[in-house]
Amino acid sequence: MGRILVGIGGGISAYKVCELVSRWVQAGHQVRVVLTPMAERFITPLTVSTLSRHPAYTDGDFWQATGRPLHIELGEWAEVILVAPLTADLLAKIAHGQADDLLTNTLLASTAPVLVAPAMNATMWQQLSVQSNYKMLLQWPRFHSVGTRSGLLACDAVGPGRMAEPEEIYPWVESLLITGGQRDLCQYKILVTAGGTREYLDPVRFLGNPATGAMGLALAQAANHRGAQVTLIHAPVSQRIPPLEAVVPVTSGQAMYNAVMAAFPAQDWCLMAAAVGDVQPGTYHPHKLRKRDLPDCLPLAPVPDILQALSNIKQPHQLLVGFAAQTGEIEPPAWEKLIAKKLDAIVANPVDQAQAGFGSSTNWGIWLDRQGQRLEFSLVPKLTLAHQILTATRSFYSSASSGTSAAGG
């Protein structure tokens, strides 16, 4: 488990940070909280100390002599620092290296990666001075940003400046704990597919599968957190879609085929994590069929084979990774699929075991590639597994590029 330092700025959205602190503690992380003087006007030290199971730090603690300087201790202790909400004043101080309180001194005394979550009035956010400070901050390798969101603000204005929601910030910090803040995929364009396709018989009935899209979304998030330009093509999913370079929603296998084939030529890697159906009803009925009109035998037609089509047009610099959701013995059919589809690699995972597969928050699997390498991933949260898959993909890509072509064949 990790050590997370949370710096809370003086904004109305400070209340959202309380949920994050609680979740991290429940997940087993160690959490320390620093409140700026303005933050204390919005939430109390008692609130965050109760949630973090540790006394909260304020400027009153900073100016007391108690052995080693507190900002040095906290800066060295932290593995990841979250600053939320990042107000205009706090942004200006950090961007220009000012240190006049406990939080800003701690940031300067640390080498840990920092995630900022800006939040302010839309007019304030759009000021040239604020945007200049923000761009300056993001030029430094330590600093990462979850960005702002548009919507109704506390001042009743509508526009950019809302702080990102806790469910968006939480995985960002988890990624930074895993990677140490590395942007090791910043040179890659990565296409990820997610979700389970639906093949409609009529407007209300379809052939489908139980895929929720969680694994594909985790891959897209993890790649984005590591600096990649991510294109996500997704069938219906049960989770929030993360903000990415490009997001293309589809429903059917044919629609996913069309979208993937259009996007693939511009990509370096393609991770096909979507659960695409193999067949579709032979006839689509534009109006709901009455129960008595449902056919006793349903004629089926094949859905386009996306992996096979991609392997036929893949260029030497491109990498194609498939996924195989299996029951029973998962490895033999994955090897068969790897060879038959001419893939660079495949990730096989079970869907008939507890805490793995469709709808679970955790997963495990086996990586197999055309160089004969086999890696087994143990049961972990899907975001963690996503990072492990990306690391294996990067390693394979580097190895293949330095030897034979990464395209295979």
Active site residues: 155
| DSSP-assigned letters across all residues of 73-124 | HHHHH-SEEEEEEE-HHHHHHHHTT---SHHHHHHHT--S-EEEEE---HHH
d(Cα 234, Cα 134) in Å, to the nearest integer? Answer: 31
* Nearest alpha-carbon partner for 164 in 240, 101, 236: 240
Task: Tell me whether residue 293 is annotated as binding.
Answer: no
Task: Tell me whether residue 337 is annotated as binding.
Answer: yes
Task: Tell me whether residue 382 is annotated as binding.
Answer: no
Task: Tell me whether residue 278 is annotated as binding.
Answer: yes
**3-state percent helix, strand, coil for the chain, nearest multiple of 5:** 35, 25, 40
d(Cα 304, Cα 21) in Å, to the nearest integer? Answer: 46
Task: Tell me whether residue 93 is annotated as binding.
Answer: no
DSSP state, residue 274:
S
Task: Tell me whether residue 90 is annotated as binding.
Answer: no
Task: Tell me whether residue 323 is annotated as binding.
Answer: yes
Task: Tell me whether residue 189 is annotated as binding.
Answer: no
Task: Tell me whether residue 314 is annotated as binding.
Answer: no
Per-residue exposure over 365-388, b if at least 16 CB sit within 10 Å of its own CB, e if not: bbbbbbeeeebebeeebbbbbbbb
Token look-up 């140490």 returns: 180
d(Cα 317, Cα 249) in Å, to the nearest integer? Answer: 27
d(Cα 171, Cα 44) in Å, to the nearest integer? Answer: 26
Whether the CA torsion 308, 309, 313, 319 is positive or negative: it is negative
Token look-up 């903000």 returns: 243
Peptide bond into 265 cis (omega under 30): no
Region at 274 (left for phi over 0; alpha for psi -120 to 50; beta for the rest): beta
Torsion angle, alpha carbons of 340, 341, 344, 347, to 10: -90
User: Cα angle vertex 258, ends 336, 272, to 5°?
Assistant: 35
What residue numbers does the annotated binding site for CTP cover? 278, 288, 304-307, 323, 337, 341
What residue numbers does the annotated binding site cover? 278, 288, 304-307, 323, 337, 341
